[in-house]
Structure 1
């Protein structure tokens, strides 16, 4: 009888403890490098609203835009050190920390659509491998949101790989500079916010900035009149990563809400971007912009150069090798490469 009473008391205590945990409210401070007014920023704001709604207000996300707490490139470390709770930038910023992050930020010349890239994460073993890397640095990867293929914008025609010879353009840091240099271009690493002025003053001839719709919103096609479309060279993934200790302290239902809301964000964002890009492509010709659709053979030339660099970067760290091999195996599995 005494044992029964002890068991009942223990069960009641456990239920009471669980009830307290469920009743507790949580607030996470999350920073993105994106502006609040951009389409991406608006989608991030909707993500925060979805999380609060699904949790009945128990989990709130305080969003900080345009790197307002720390520089965008410093967000990851700020989360690891507890200054912020969440990083909503890109793994590509962390290639100096570990080259493996290149293959979680932008595979370059790999997948054709956001759906293929997200499929690697959720159905190709990508999440498990990525999680090991994030956990090593004290973060928990929640998921990706992928806009789709980006466009190269230029003041001179870019009809084929031959046109890359001596082409001076803005490039993000990382593996991309090496791929384009191999094809004869002259990449110059500069910040995203510098692109318009650099094009306008002819410091550069072109830029790898963003997708066609975003480039137009930035005014790039007021300055240059050539672009590659459909895109094929770059499809960056933005991530949401939470401080692991903070994530582990959340009740399981709130963890599930974060993960499900992230997948909804990825789905809606990819669809919305595709509509915006397609609309832009159908109207931009009237503004004097020429769209260059590279042939299958020309795209293969770029992909071959990219795949060569994958292997070189894969040798830079054990984690990079694991991710490269995983991507290659999945691409073979779905018929993207032989």
Structure 2
């Protein structure tokens, strides 16, 4: 919010007194500088690599704005549950949401395609290319603005790995496999393959694994899974990841965004683009290191066969069509598919 000059400050500036005596209007807000204060929640804890990257984003934004943008970050969904963050921001409990669009599929299945194409893109850079060069910003904000939010940017850790307390070598091991799943199309895909997805909050995964409520989890990539403590219980995983590559977002309430000066908007948008690049590249490095460490600890890292991956991808494409039930979801899905075909990554 913009500050007003106090009486003492006015008294201390001779030119102001002169201007006032001449009846000239003074822009007090500009004289004191602009301030933007944001309350943001992320589902990542400070112990995870992504949580540490979120803190780096805060530091970068503060430095670039010369302290004009102040961010109070609530880590590990400490205010509301992860899936409730978007609504908490849209209704004023928070200002911004730093979780992911796919949590909001209950509002509109289009949010699935605003957060995770579930195996459509092969790497984060293809997905960023759609955002930056395929009309992604405009497409996403058609959806976000209709829900009183402004989409600002993505940060994509890369393909995720599933963790399991049971054998996890291929599609056959999915039969009756109970696992934590985020909401959205991923539940439909795995149900088609015989698994039993259970939607639960990020913070409930460890206890559910520990108590045997679930056999495994769709949580994050192997590095963030380590930060969550999942491999203290789960003995198998898949690497490299293939099933999902969620794009975490920064989205702020529309009136909060519109009240910001243009240079603050630019700082946040460019800051997210910088976070995206740093996050994807550091996760690529860390995942390779983590894979080596997990093998040394006796965790089985399974690489699924081409045949199993083909079965999975067929279930994915069938589920996309089945899940896209609204005009917005069909349009957003088609935008992704058209772009992938332009890249030659899909027929």
**Taking structure 1 as the reference length, what is the TM-score of the superposition?**
0.90
Equivalent position SS for 2:88: helix
Match of 1:336 in 2: 345
How far the C-alpha of 1:276 sits from its partner, in A, is 1.4
How far the C-alpha of 1:21 sits from its partner, in A, is 7.9
- Alignment partner of 1:72 is 2:93: no
Task: From 200, 211, 219, give the equivalent of 2:221.
Answer: 211
Match of 2:66 in 1: 56
Equivalent position SS for 2:252: strand
Contact 2:182/2:199, CA 8 A, preserved across alignment:
yes
Match of 1:323 in 2: 332
User: Residues of 2 paired with 1:36 and 1:52: CA distance?
Assistant: 19
Equivalent position SS for 2:214: coil
CA deviation map 1:20-78 (0-9, x unaligned): 28822221222222223332222112211211211112222222222233332222122
CA deviation map 1:179-205 (0-9, x unaligned): 011011122222322322333333322
Task: Give the direction of change, closer, same or farther, for the CA distance of 1:119–1:282 in structure 2 (3 Å limit).
Answer: same
User: Residues of 1 paired with 2:115 and 2:184: CA distance?
Assistant: 10
- Alignment partner of 1:248 is 2:258: yes
Task: Give the direction of change, closer, same or farther, for the CA distance of 1:111–1:24 in structure 2 (3 Å limit).
Answer: same
Task: From 145, 170, 175, give the equivalent of 1:165.
Answer: 175
**Taking structure 2 as the reference length, what is the TM-score of the superposition?**
0.88
Task: From 287, 291, 310, give the equivalent of 2:297.
Answer: 287
The 5 Å alignment of 1:1-338 reads 17=27, 20=30, 23-314=33-324, 316-338=325-347
User: Residues of 2 paired with 1:91 and 1:178: CA distance?
Assistant: 17
Match of 1:3 in 2: none
Equivalent position SS for 1:60: strand
How far the C-alpha of 1:16 sits from its partner, in A, is 6.2
Task: Give the direction of change, closer, same or farther, for the CA distance of 1:15–1:54 in structure 2 (3 Å limit).
Answer: farther
Contact 1:21/1:251, CA 8 A, preserved across alignment:
no
How far the C-alpha of 1:146 sits from its partner, in A, is 0.6
Gaps of 5+ in 1: 1-12
Gaps of 5+ in 2: 1-22
Task: Give the direction of change, closer, same or farther, for the CA distance of 1:21–1:104 in structure 2 (3 Å limit).
Answer: farther
Contact 1:142/1:241, CA 8 A, preserved across alignment:
yes
Cα root mean square deviation, aligned = 2.1
